[in-house]
Amino acid sequence: MDAIRQKIRDVPDFPKKGIVFKDITPAIADAGVFKLIIDGLAAPWRGKRVDKIVGIESRGFIFGAPLAYALGTGFSIVRKPGKLPFKTHSESYALEYGTDSLEVHIDAVAPGEHALVVDDLLATGGTAGAVARLVERQGGIVIGFSFVVELAFLGGAIKLGADKVQALVRY
């Protein structure tokens, strides 16, 4: 995973002072590294029951859609409020630098479906935890969380259940 780590750049003071943003855009711009990412995210889930990939706006869409394709599953999206056209469930959560809300269509995950939550980065676990609550509200079963990057020092994996968290690169 060194090839992935080498393509992730640090952007200091973004989105606000004191935060070092992990920018994955150089990694996805490199076809070989992007393939490594998708293959790496897919590997632990091959041969397991995954009915739905749930991608978190917006960088989770970048990884979630090709991961769903690779695993032969459906793909559902979670977006910021007011962006989805049908009836939604909403969940508010705390970020490492504020608060926010997310929405999902009420039929995005069917009762009993096994869902894998996907995003680019795990920090405190607030966003992914909110998505897990949305999936569970619909009767879905969250089988795990997959990320390209984990900021381990922020404890998000512990909050989500470390045995359910996959990250390709940890800082």
Active-site residues, by number, are 59, 96
Q: What are the respective helix, strand and coil percentages of the chain, to the nearest 5?
A: 35, 35, 30
Nearest by Cα to 42 from 21, 24, 67: 67
d(CA 4, CA 39): 12
158 φ/ψ sector (left φ>0, alpha ψ -120 to 50, else beta): alpha
One-letter amino acid at 105 equals H
